[in-house]
């Protein structure tokens, strides 16, 4: 299969071609590698590729033969490096498949490489010292988002139709918004993090993917969701496959809109205009849309402080473990300024402070749950501004402590993190583009605990009403020059 044809199929479509005998898994992998060679020198999304990992899985697997990429954190693949985007973990090789990786294999996905992440997934831009900055295919001078920025850029540029990612504060949804993709953060407990972890970042982090079509994300979640023995959280399994929900009528939904973020960060004019157009689209589809009142249950400063304690205490434990495993120092030779500042801050977080931070998590969860008693869906911009220039997050980072860095990240992306705290599903949908620059703009839709089905039904309706698959970035594998 030629790359020019390959890039116009989504994962479900490619799997059907394989099942019908029209193309082989080997031919698809060849096309994916050719696509990567065409665009990756321009976007730096993929840090490593490798030979085929054993073929397209069991006969009849739902996504058999579809090329796939895993993030450099959050999905351990036996015998392959997972370096967390950090010099501290450079050369780290996984000894066994994680539960998620086993499910990826059973789905038939052919994993042939790993994508870039910010160091320790500790930023919403992907500019690690270890491998360099990942560039946005729509404008290579801008960020691809983070921490799943490599996944976002690779999918947007046509290397693969969908890719693995993780999300602890918006790390799937921000890259989806920046790169013009669909990205859904599942409910806490929907996808197992076992066996090596019961939870990550005190339950804030989940695994998922980004894709160019809604049905691809639904198909992926169908294959990777479900508990493993010993999991601390459990999300009730849906009554029918998510793939079936995409084509079902969502009904008339009551949708609450938050145009401005909880912390006071003002939504910029291009994003506010995109939100207004999204509201008009929803109303034309018969939904009841109104301005929402959805409090966090705590003040913004208390909210940021609690998150800083949760993130940095977890970070400090991870850093200490890696430093001991590799016999490396914890200093500027192994960690970036923001990560190192977070490490030192986390070392000072006491047990009582960590428990208090978990209590804040509970208050946010309860408060947002009450909002979902009023609204079927909450709508916000995914981020309040267009994709930022590369280097924007580095400005002043060397002078910040761990609390200051978290405050900066949350100021840039204030809409996404509350749903990680609450553990509820949320998705970024690429419904708009900036008229002046052509840059994509994502809209975030969130639902109550365990209600991914509701989100997929709405997303499928929106995709039909306002298709986005025809929009491709400036750096696109369908153009063999990678222009």
Show the tokens assigned to 472: 């491709």
Catalytic residue set: 71, 147, 171
Residue 281's pLDDT band (cuts 50, 70, 90) = very high
If one counts every other C-beta atom within 10 angstroms of the C-beta of residue 59, the result is 8
Q: Is the pLDDT of residue 480 over 70?
A: no
Q: Is the pLDDT of residue 4 over 80?
A: yes
Q: Is the pLDDT of residue 482 over 60?
A: no
Q: Where are the domains of the chain?
A: 3-465
Which tens digits make up the pLDDT trace of 359-370? 999 999 999 999
Q: What is the pLDDT of residue 54?
A: 58
Fold for domain 3-465? Amidase signature (AS) enzymes (3.90.1300)
Q: What is the pLDDT of residue 481?
A: 46
Which tens digits make up the pLDDT trace of 79-138? 999 999 999 999 999 999 999 999 999 999 999 999 999 999 999 999 999 999 999 999
Which tens digits make up the pLDDT trace of 299-350? 999 999 999 999 999 999 999 999 999 999 999 999 999 999 999 999 999 9
CA dihedral (367, 368, 374, 378) positive or negative: positive
Show the tokens assigned to 225: 């969701």
Q: What is the pLDDT of residue 483?
A: 43
The span from the CA of 249 to the CA of 462, in Å, is 11
Mean pLDDT of the chain: 96
Burial of 167 (0-12, 13-18, 19+ CB in 10 A): buried
Exposure string of 14-45, with b = 16+ CB inside 10 Å and e = fewer, is bbebbbeeebebebbbbbbbbbbebbbebbbb
Q: Decide: 47 and 131 in contact? Cβ < 8 Å.
A: yes
Q: Is the pLDDT of residue 371 over 50?
A: yes
Show the tokens assigned to 452: 């991914």
Give me the DSSP letters along 273-322.
Answer: HHHHHHHHHHHHTT-EEEE-----SS-HHHHHHHHHHHHHHHHHHHHHHH
Show the tokens assigned to 299: 């003040």
Q: What is the pLDDT of residue 51?
A: 85
Phi, psi of 138 (to 5 degrees): -80, -30
pTM check: above 0.75: yes
Strand partners, 433: 440
The arithmetic mean of pLDDT across residues 10-19, rounded, is 97
């Amino acid at each position: 299969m030629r790359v020019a044809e390959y890039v116009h199929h989504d994962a479900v479509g490619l799997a059907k071609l394989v099942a019908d005998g029209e193309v082989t898994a080997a031919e698809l992998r060849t096309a994916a590698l050719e696509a990567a060679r065409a665009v990756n020198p321009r976007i730096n999304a993929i840090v490593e590729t490798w030979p085929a990992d054993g073929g397209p899985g069991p006969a009849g697997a739902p996504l058999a033969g579809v090329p796939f990429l895993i993030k450099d954190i959050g999905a351990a693949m036996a015998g392959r490096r997972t370096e967390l985007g950090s010099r501290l973990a450079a050369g780290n090789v996984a000894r066994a498949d994680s539960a998620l990786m086993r499910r990826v294999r059973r789905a038939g996905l052919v994993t042939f490489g790993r994508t870039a992440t910010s160091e320790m997934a500790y930023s919403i831009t992907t500019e690690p010292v270890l491998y360099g900055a990942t560039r946005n295919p729509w404008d290579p001078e801008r960020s691809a988002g983070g921490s799943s920025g490599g996944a976002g850029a690779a999918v947007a540029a046509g290397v693969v139709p969908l890719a693995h990612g993780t999300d602890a504060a918006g790390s799937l949804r921000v890259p989806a918004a920046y790169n013009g993709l669909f990205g859904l953060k599942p409910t806490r407990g929907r996808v197992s993090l076992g066996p090596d972890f019961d939870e990550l970042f005190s339950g804030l982090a989940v695994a998922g993917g980004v894709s160019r079509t809604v049905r691809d994300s639904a198909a992926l979640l169908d294959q990777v969701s479900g508990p493993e023995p010993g999991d601390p959280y459990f999300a009730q399994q849906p009554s029918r496959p998510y793939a079936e929900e995409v084509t079902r009528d969502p009904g008339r939904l009551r949708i609450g809109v938050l145009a401005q973020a909880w912390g006071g960060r003002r939504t910029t004019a291009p994003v506010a205009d995109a939100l207004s157009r999204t509201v008009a689209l929803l109303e034309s589809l018969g939904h009841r849309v109104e301005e929402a009142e959805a409090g966090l249950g705590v003040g913004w400063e208390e909210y940021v402080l609690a998150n800083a304690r949760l993130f940095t205490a977890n970070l400090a434990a991870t850093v200490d473990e890696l430093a001991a495993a590799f016999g490396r120092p914890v200093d500027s030779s192994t960690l970036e300024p923001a990560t190192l500042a977070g490490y030192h801050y986390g070392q000072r977080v006491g047990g009582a402070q960590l428990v208090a931070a978990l209590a804040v998590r509970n208050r946010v969860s309860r408060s947002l749950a009450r909002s979902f008693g009023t609204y079927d869906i909450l709508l916000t911009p995914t981020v309040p501004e267009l994709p930022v220039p590369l280097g924007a997050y580095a400005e002043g980072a060397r002078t910040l402590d761990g609390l200051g860095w978290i405050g900066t990240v949350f100021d840039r992306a204030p809409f996404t993190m509350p749903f990680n705290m609450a553990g509820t599903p949320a998705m970024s949908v690429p419904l708009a583009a900036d008229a002046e620059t052509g840059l994509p703009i994502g809209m975030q839709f969130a639902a109550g605990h365990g209600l991914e089905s509701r989100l997929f039904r709405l997303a499928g309706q929106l995709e039909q009403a306002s298709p986005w698959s025809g929009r491709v970035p400036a750096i696109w594998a369908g153009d063999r020059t990678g222009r």
